[in-house]
Amino acid sequence: MEAPAFDLNIPEARADVPESAPQEHPHILARDFSVFYGSNAAVRQVTFNIPRGLVTAVIGPSGCGKSTFLRAINRMNDLIPGCHTRGELIFGDQNVYGPQIDVAALRQRVGMVFQKPNPFPKSIFDNVAYGPHILGIRDRRKLAEIVERSLMRAALWEEVKDRLSDNALGLSGGQQQRLCVARALAIDPDVLLMDEPTSALDPRSTTRIEDLIAELRGTYTIAIVTHNMQQAARVSDFTAFLYEGWLIEFGLTQQLFTRPKEKQTEDYITGRFG
């Protein structure tokens, strides 16, 4: 095996994650799961488990179906006409595409942070309070408490605590993205999905988001899509490599990057294509 094309510095804390974590503590299970746009398959019969409380990265070349897979988990693909699925996707113990699933309740458990920061054109406070408000919390004091806690968790509190009523669009890009994280955390989800959360940010903001992920690790199950392999290596415990909709390889991040089992994975991580 060749050495990986870049430095792998896997943090100490993650060195002892057992390889069996996905089997022993699965949180989201894909079984022969496919997603179609009309008749085109974007995700093809993938089978793997996302472990609870850990960070799982999904990597692969552009257009390989990473976003599609991620958005399938909280059923954001329902918005796209003609998009349908086959196989099973299990969240906890429920089939996400089961007939009686309450999609709103599902999305409250599975939060999402998008590629481009997308705060509402409202105040910072109202952005974070949006989710709890939907849950029916109207008490201003309780809302304030939730907003504060969420902003703290997203490591944004110190920066914005004096201007909570300012328009969120006045924040910098990195701050906006952390605000989006806070907004997702405010309804206390079990899972956090992040679709290339740093691709629109500068390096310094990227570092802050990565630090944030490290902090949230353990509290939330996190699935992060990235096309940046260093990032996947830095933040994730497990990595799934998708190629043209197929799941090529899934395993411990350290192993996948140092000793890939598949030729395609190796080609990809050594930069031979993609």
Partner 1 sequence: MQLGTRRLLDRAFSGLGFISIGLMAASLLVILTPIFVRGFGAFVFQGTIEFRRMQLERFERGDRDEIEAELTTARRARQPVYEMLDAFDTEMGEMGFLERREYEGPREELEDALRELLGPRPEDPVPVMARDQYGATRWDRAREKIDLVLYRTEYDYSDRTRMGVPVSVPRVEDFRGTALEALFDYVELHATEMLRPRWTLYLRFLTDHSIDAHFFGGIWPEVLGTLYLTLGAMIFALPMGVVSAIYLVEYAGEGRLISLLRTFISTLAGVPSIVFGLFGLAFFINTLKITESKSLLAGSLTLATLVLPTVIRASEEAIRSVPTTYREAALSLGASKWRAIVTVILPASLPGILTGVVISMGRAAGETAPIIFTAAVSVGKALDFAKVKFWETLSEATPALPWNIYNLATEHEAVDEIRHVQFGMVFTLVMLVLILNATAIFLRARISKKLRG
Partner 2 sequence: MEREQSPDREQSPDALAARRSDLLMSARASRAKRVVAFAGQSLLFLLTSSSAIVVLFIFYFIFKDALPFFQLRSLGEFLGSNRWYPTASPPEFGSLAIFLGTGLVTLGSIVLAVPLGVSAAVCLSDILPFGLRQAVKPVIEILAAIPSVAYGFFALVVFAPLLQESGGRLLSVAVWLVGVPICGLIVIVLSESVAARLPSEQRAGGRIVAMLLLGVLTVWGLYRASRGAAGLEIVSGTNALNVSIILGIMALPTVVSVSEDALQAVGRELREGSYALGATRAETILRVVIPAAGSGILAAVILGIMRVIGETMVVWMASGNAAQIPDPWYNFLEPIRTLTATIAGDMGEADHVTGSARYHVLFAMALSLLAISFACNLASEWVVRVQRKKLKG
**Residues in contact with ligand ADP by the rule CB under 6 A:** 37, 42, 60, 62-68, 80
213: nearest Cα among 164, 249, 177, 266: 177
Q: Does 119 bind partner 1 (CB under 8 A)?
A: yes
What gap in Å lies between CA 200 and CA 197, rounded to an integer?
7
Min dist CB 60 to ligand ADP, Å, is 6
Residue 120 binding partner per list ligand ADP, partner 1, partner 2, none, with a CB distance cut-off of 5 to 8 Å that depends on partner kind: partner 1
Interface with partner 1 (CB under 8 A), residue from 25, 86, 122, 149 = 122
Alpha-carbon separation of residue 130 from 101, 144, 191 (angstroms): 22, 12, 18
User: Which backbone phi and psi does 96 adopt, to 5 degrees?
Assistant: -60, -30
Task: Give the pairing type, strands 83-91 and 26-37.
Answer: antiparallel
Residue 64 binding partner per list ligand ADP, Mg ion, partner 2, none, with a CB distance cut-off of 5 to 8 Å that depends on partner kind: ligand ADP
What gap in Å lies between CA 19 and CA 119, rounded to an integer?
37
β partners of residue 34: 86
Q: What angle do CA 83, 178, 201 make, to 5 degrees?
A: 80
| Interface segment toward Mg ion; rule CB under 5 A; list 13-21, 65-73, 122-130, 175-183 | 65-73
Residue 27 binding partner per list ligand ADP, partner 1, Mg ion, none, with a CB distance cut-off of 5 to 8 Å that depends on partner kind: none
Min dist CB 157 to Mg ion, Å, is 30
Residue 52 binding partner per list ligand ADP, Mg ion, partner 1, none, with a CB distance cut-off of 5 to 8 Å that depends on partner kind: none
Q: Is 141 helix (H, G, I), strand (E, B) or coil?
A: helix
Q: Which residues bind partner 2 (CB under 8 A)?
A: 25, 52-53, 91-92, 94, 98-102, 104-106, 108-109, 132, 135-137, 139, 142, 145-146, 149, 187-188, 190, 218-220
Q: Does 224 bind partner 1 (CB under 8 A)?
A: no
Q: Which residue is nearest to ligand ADP (CB)?
A: 67
Q: What angle do CA 5, 11, 15 make, to 5 degrees?
A: 100
197: nearest Cα among 189, 211, 186, 187: 211
Min dist CB 234 to ligand ADP, Å, is 20
- Given the complex with partner 1, which of 5 and 135 has the nearer CB atom? 135
The string over 207-217, giving b where at least 16 C-beta atoms fall within 10 Å of a residue's C-beta and e elsewhere, is ebbbebbbebb
Residue 107 binding partner per list partner 1, Mg ion, ligand ADP, none, with a CB distance cut-off of 5 to 8 Å that depends on partner kind: partner 1
Q: Does 149 bind partner 1 (CB under 8 A)?
A: no
20: Cα within 13 Å, side-chain hemisphere: 1
Tokens of 13: 């804390």
Interface with partner 1 (CB under 8 A), residue from 4, 22, 51, 131 = 131
Q: What angle do CA 232, 266, 67 make, to 5 degrees?
A: 45
- Given the complex with Mg ion, which of 29 and 70 has the nearer CB atom? 70
Residue numbers at the binding site for partner 1 (CB under 8 A): 74, 76, 79, 81, 104-105, 107-108, 111-112, 114, 116, 118-122, 130-131, 134-135, 169, 180, 183-184, 187
